Chains A and B, each alone.
Chain A
Amino acid sequence: MSGAKWLPTLILITAFQVISVGQIAFTDSGINMRIISVFGAYIAIEWIYTITSSIIRKKASPALEFIAFFLTGIGLLIVASVNEKLLVTQFIAFTLGFFCFMFLLWLISDMDRAMFMRTPMAIAAVGLLIITLIFAKNIHGAYNWIGIGSFSFQPSELVKIAFIFVGAAALDKLQSTRSLTKYIIFAVVCIALLFLMRDLGTALIFFFTFLILAFMRSGDIRTLILVCVAAAMGAALIVLVKSDYVIRRFSIYRHIWENMDGSGYQQTRVLIYSVSGGLFGVGIGNGKLKDIFAATEDLVFGVLCEEWGIIMGILVILCFALIATHSIKCAVGCRYAFYTIASVAAGGLLLFQASLNVFGVTDLLPLTGVTLPFISRGGSSAISCWALLAFIKAADNRTWLGSRYNAEVVE
């Protein structure tokens, strides 16, 4: 019955993807079967998931997943057109993220289970960050990658999930001062470790998420403590910013054209090629920005504008506003404060990260080197983005209507 609602949207998304894939896969030199099979699998996942979930969770709305499918699809299409060899890896990362999404949704569907998981999660997160700090490879100025054989990943992305999870759990219901203190310590340790890795962008995202969590808890005497900690962190930020690497990044802010071929290289190229595409783009694969370092990662917004057009670029980034708005809507009237808090934190985190990326590469904000959620290439990023969606999805009461958790909703 509810099928009629989602079907047209999914058909549109699929049609969009099929047409785009057609443009990439059918070239003069033949048909690229790898691209076709990956997208075949991707579209299959979209349909199987949507149909299955409409059967199992009859009242659930797949709107949120649709946005994520749309964005992830664009990310995969860009990888396919720029560096087709990495497509399979990226697709596998998405699959992993997608399973994380479903797993996390299952995990937090039972609040007792969620509460039980909070300490192990916190320990795992801090542990992971410490391990990163010890074994990290220095990639482009930051020490935030761990390599195992030929496989490397960015633990700070995964810690985002734990950060919100632990934060929302610690602030749910009436917690003892002790547990709250523990959380503050946890947050400070996480952010401090990120600073030590020189991963300023992610540290900022964590700090912002921390502020949201703190606000959600405000009205309480403990807020004061949170705010104080926030201020202290702000001060620490200023002190820590005085590292050469960060100063270099900030000194170029709003001065990119004066140093077009030096430290302003990436941003100026993003702007030059973004406007080169005009409103409708030069066509997938016809861009020039793709030849520039980090085109499919940090600079992906520029590739989007150049090849798909400014209109498409703007529409895509507005999707993040949509996700955030959705997270607020879902946050009202949840069964548990945990859901409310986690949903707002996740929605805020994604939008904040998108802002840092888009406004950073276009020089409206300082460049912090964070990725564009769902779209930028990167396995860890894909996994964490999808997992974060679980928090928003869980807050949506329709997700649970008609399921065995329904009883609690009524109660």
Chain B
Amino acid sequence: MNKISKRSKILYLLVFAFIFGVCFLCITLISNAETWALKRANQHIYDKGQLISAGTIYDRNGVVLAETVDGERIFNENKTIRCATLHCVGDLSGFIATGAHTAFKSQLTGYSLINGVYNIERDGEDKDLHLTIDASLCADAYNALGKNNGTIGVYNYETGEILCMVSKPTFDINNKPKDIDTDDTGKYDGIYINRFLSGVFTPGSTFKVVTAACAIENIPDIDSRTFTCTGSYKTSTGVVKCNGVHGTLTFETALNHSCNSAFAQIADELGNEKLTATAEELGFNKRIQVDGINVAKSYFDLTGAVSVDRGWAGIGQYTTLANPCHMVTLMGAIASNGTTPSPHILENSSSFFSIGSSTIRYMDLTTATKLSDMLRSNVENYYGDKKFPNLEMCGKTGTAEVSEKEPHTWFVGFSRRTDTPFAIVVVLENSGGTGIGNAVPVANKVMQSAITLS
């Protein structure tokens, strides 16, 4: 009998297994809590697949972009603002992955592991989201885009706030096109994508800023060099065409005129390794985040590239792709001595999401100062300050050739005025024309609006 008594201890095995299982269950529940609780099937939060209970989303001036009234989600009453802020605010069904309704779902709904959904049906300041964007600036940017698709972003390089973030094509959330998911003419292509955060485009001549940075760091006598442009640059493996015949140029005037011959030559001289190293220092192939939202990586790869490829890459063609949000932070860094605050769109973001470092360092002070002066020279001596009145603007245009379609036109730049520390990126998708002709006026409109609003 004693023997049998001892055997009863076998049951401890089951007890231990059970307790192990319970611990495992706790870990599983805790680590997946947010994902599971915010599933669309959760009727505490969703009704018929639509987010019902969530806090109010405000812009930087307290303008309501979305709020819940009597269990229904209401958006801003102005159609232009709704269209302009669609990608920033997001939809209720989660199609726009980077929109606030999806990306900041847990904060908006008030869900937390500790209180669960307990706060959801209760109103409270803590569920509200205050965005750094300015709704009327977005509306102005949206209007400035006109018929073009593309994106405009304005970023304060002193604070890291994103003031404007507009992406087109877009739609009115109160009047979603019926054929949006069935259309095959392509007019809604990528309509759910926020091009500022998730888009990547061939950068064209805006990439010359990177090539220039590499030259400043690696060619000591770059300023005393001269380049001769005959309309193209010949390498042993092919020819890089220029947009004109520029004759004799210095490093600075080569950038002013955006001379392909000169920059292809510089890129060729620098070589694959140095170009790649600088591009990566300047944020290519690297991930940045905006309040926890992953921004699409800019892409630069010269693996196995021969001299003509390198030449094209040096002027922003070849396989290179740039993300607008990344480019605008790069401008911010040039404007502020090489280091720029991480971009964010939540006003109180520091307390919530700042897991990574709060600043991004792209280059040293010398390079930043030099580039800043060169970009200033572009506007001052080439585009003309008339095109950017009262801004002390610095910048670079780009006309990016893409296969089988009209080129994208770009403008990236920033105001050097200390009271308007804004950097801007404009991408007009397949707009045709040139950066100077198309993107510059759009950038100016938005910048003028930005300085009056501030």
Contact = CB atoms under 8 A, between A and B. Distances in A.
Interface stretch (B4-12, B165-173, B181-189, B377-385): B4-12
B353 interface: no
B22 A218 contact: no
Contacts of A217: 4
Contacts of A276: 37, 42, 44, 111, 116-117
A321 B4 contact: no
Q: By CB atoms of chain B within 10 A, which of A219, A272, A279, A355 has the most?
A: A272
Contact of A348 (B11, B21, B33): B11
Given A219-B3, A355-B21, A359-B25, A282 B118 contact: yes
A268 B26 CA distance: 16
B365 interface: no
A325 B112 CA distance: 35
A328 B117 CA distance: 40
A275 to B, nearest CB: 4
Interface stretch (A38-46, A77-85, A182-190, A332-340): A332-340
A273 B5 contact: no
Interface in A271-320: 271-283, 288, 305-306, 309-310, 314, 317-318, 320
Nearest to B119: A278
A60 interface: no
A332 B8 contact: yes
Contacts of A327: 8, 11
A322 to B, nearest CB: 9
The interface centre, meaning the residue of B22, B44, B116 with most chain A CB atoms within 10 A of its CB, is: B116
Contact of B41 (A260, A314, A321, A332): A260
B18 A320 contact: yes
A14 B39 CA distance: 38
A351 interface: yes
Contacts of B5: 331-334, 340
Interface string B1-43: 1011101111110110111011011101100111011010111
Tell me if A's interface is mostly helix, strand, loop or mixed: helix
Contacts of A340: 1, 4-5, 8
A393 interface: no
A338 to B, nearest CB: 10
Contacts of B116: 275-282, 306, 309
A337 B1 CA distance: 6
A165 B10 CA distance: 20
Interface in B149-208: none
B63 interface: no
B25 A362 contact: yes
Contact of A275 (B17, B33, B43): B33
Interface string A360-388: 00101000000000000000000000000
Contacts of A305: 29
A341 interface: yes
Contacts of A273: 42, 44
B11 A328 contact: yes
A391 B237 CA distance: 90
B357 interface: no
Q: Which of A260, A269, A278, A321 has the most CB of B within 10 A?
A: A278
Interface in A192-249: 212, 215-219
B14 A324 contact: yes
B115 A314 contact: no
A271 B34 CA distance: 11
A215 B37 CA distance: 43
B245 interface: no
Contact of B29 (A275, A320, A341, A354): A275
Contacts of A100: none
Nearest to A331: B8
A324 B19 CA distance: 12
B113 interface: yes
Contacts of A318: 19, 22
Contacts of B115: 278-280
A355 B3 contact: no
Interface in A253-277: 260-261, 268-269, 271-277
Nearest to A282: B118
A364 B26 CA distance: 11
A327 B10 CA distance: 12
A272 B117 contact: no
Interface in B27-76: 28-29, 32-34, 36-37, 39, 41-44
B4 A274 contact: no
B453 interface: no
B114 interface: yes
A87 interface: no
A352 interface: yes
A271 B4 contact: no
Contacts of B29: 271, 274-275, 305, 310, 362
Given A275-B29, A358-B25, A364-B21, A351 B118 contact: no
Given A272-B36, A325-B15, A216 B7 contact: yes
Contacts of A320: 18
Given A260-B41, A362-B28, A218 B7 contact: yes
A344 B8 contact: yes
B41 A269 contact: yes
B356 to A, nearest CB: 26
Contacts of B33: 275
A275 B36 contact: yes
A200 B381 CA distance: 84
Contacts of A281: 116, 118
B380 to A, nearest CB: 58
A364 B25 contact: yes
A212 B11 contact: yes
A260 B8 CA distance: 42
Given A328-B9, A344-B8, A321 B1 contact: no
Shortest beta-carbon contacts, A-B, top 6: A278-B116, A331-B8, A275-B33, A344-B8, A277-B116, A278-B115
Interface of A: 212, 215-219, 260-261, 268-269, 271-283, 288, 305-306, 309-310, 314, 317-318, 320-321, 324-325, 327-328, 331-334, 336-337, 340-341, 343-344, 347-348, 351-352, 354-355, 358-359, 362, 364
7 contacts: A216-B4, A260-B39, A274-B36, A279-B114, A282-B116, A310-B26, A340-B5
Given A274-B29, A324-B15, A336-B1, 4 more contacts: A272-B39, A275-B34, A278-B118, A364-B28
